[in-house]
Chain A
Amino acid sequence: MKSRARRIESVLDAVGNTPMVRIPVPSAPDVTVYAKLESANPGGSVKDRAARCMILDALADGRLGRGKTLIDSTSGNTGVAYSMFGAALGIPVELVMPENVSRARKDIAKAFGTKIIFSDPLEGSDGAIRDVRRIVLANKDKYFYPDQYANPSNPKAHYEGTAVEILRDVGDVLTHFVAGVGTSGTMMGTARRLHEHTRKITCVAVQPDSSMHGLEGLKHMESSLVPQIYDPKVPDETMFIRTEDGWDMADALALRGLHVGHSSGANIFASIKVAERLAAEGKPGCIVCIVCDRGDRYFAPMKWDKSYVW
């Protein structure tokens, strides 16, 4: 097994091999729940995997060459990852994001020298997608547009990375995998590999319960531009989680030493529901869910936090 403590040449090599931490569920004593801490990636989120793979694949086949600028729309974590790797590889990066993205995310991306273009906050992430398409269309030669919503390298990163690590680290006892869907790359790639496993592993997608929600990074598919890489047939089940349940779970976990973001709160909430369902059926189980990022990424003053002092 690869150690997490290792000597590496580039920040790109620090992606992956994230640890899993046990989440005790007293109401389901025969079910073990592990949270895979994707927040331990160098950019602080699960998006490092997709961004790294999209950049390296494009460099390998020439779509991203010298002089090209990388541009994409992102609600933040992918933007942080693009910015970090772009800075490491000397690739200029421009990001289109809705103006209401948390300030921490904008500031982190800027720290790596990234140029940020704001889109209308009322139009949400779909508005940012439409804006970036317009910009790229007008400047085809200038940009490499990875389009994380349609790029097969996004799920591939999870097919070759996340899923392999989970099988390696928990072994044949795994019964369930739980992850939220935004671009859906994590679910599509990981679930496809887990479904190839000889024994059935149930993959549960997590979506917000409403189009108007506060689970940043997740998509309510029915009311959104559906990502090209999303195939609704891949997850075995979808759970629809209320924003408040995700937020409250994130707050409760912090008091137990695990400070996760809101979408991760929703993933862990859903995992505990699955564990309790198994317990009610008298079945044992082993559930792995994804912690997408840390809670401190959502700390920064939002527009209404007028009293916030640094």
Chain B
Amino acid sequence: MATKVRIPASLRTLTGGKDEVTAAGDTVGALIEDLEKNHPGIKDRLVDEKGVRRFVNLYVGEEDVRFLEGLGTPLKAGDEISIVPAIAGG
């Protein structure tokens, strides 16, 4: 199942400049593993040993995965993932 993932400007060096990519996985965690295969380095930016890094927000649709089941949040057809930095920078 291919899920659409929206990429923030700060990670686009890892996606060849693309602001949207697709990845496969039944859960958010599996999707990140798949993202890492095609865009090496991206996993470290998003998660650490404790889960989603504190300054990273992962949304499934409009919902933050922190309020769903974290990396175990199941994905269904048509879901869209957004990676949003917690801060604006600069």
A: residues with CB less than 8 A from B are: 75-76, 97-98, 100-102, 121-129, 149, 182-183, 208, 210-220, 223-224, 243-244, 247, 262, 302-304, 306
Contacts and interface: CB of A to CB of B under 8 A. Distances in A.
Interface in B11-51: 11, 13, 19, 45-46
Contact of A122 (B9, B64, B66, B67): B9
B82 A214 contact: no
B86 A124 contact: no
A212 to B, nearest CB: 4
Contact of B19 (A122, A214, A302): A122
A127 B87 contact: no
Contacts of B88: 75-76, 97-98, 100-101, 121, 124-125, 128, 216
A97 B6 CA distance: 20
B64 to A, nearest CB: 4
Query: Which secondary structure dominates where chain B touches chain A?
Result: mixed
A224 B86 CA distance: 17
Contacts of A212: 8, 10-11, 45-46, 56, 85
A211 B67 contact: no
Contacts, number: 106
Nearest to A121: B84
A75 B9 CA distance: 15
Contacts of A303: 57, 64
Interface of B: 6-11, 13, 19, 45-46, 53-57, 64, 66-67, 82-90
Contacts of A211: 10-11, 13
Contacts of A220: 10, 89
Given A214-B53, A304-B67, 5 more contacts: A75-B88, A100-B86, A122-B84, A123-B9, A224-B89
Nearest to A262: B87
Contact of A214 (B6, B66, B87): B87
Given A122-B9, A212-B85, A306-B67, A75 B54 contact: no
Contacts of A128: 88, 90
B15 to A, nearest CB: 12
A217 B90 contact: yes
B32 to A, nearest CB: 13
Contacts of A127: 9
A122 B89 contact: no
Nearest to A211: B10
A129 B9 CA distance: 13
A219 B90 CA distance: 5
In the A-B complex, the 9 residue pairs with the smallest Cβ-Cβ separation, listed nearest first, are: A214-B55, A125-B90, A216-B87, A98-B88, A211-B10, A75-B88, A212-B45, A304-B64, A122-B8
A101 B89 CA distance: 9
Given A212-B45, A244-B54, A304-B67, A124 B89 contact: yes
Nearest to B85: A212
12 contacts: A100-B85, A101-B87, A123-B9, A124-B88, A124-B90, A211-B10, A211-B13, A212-B11, A213-B85, A213-B87, A224-B90, A304-B57
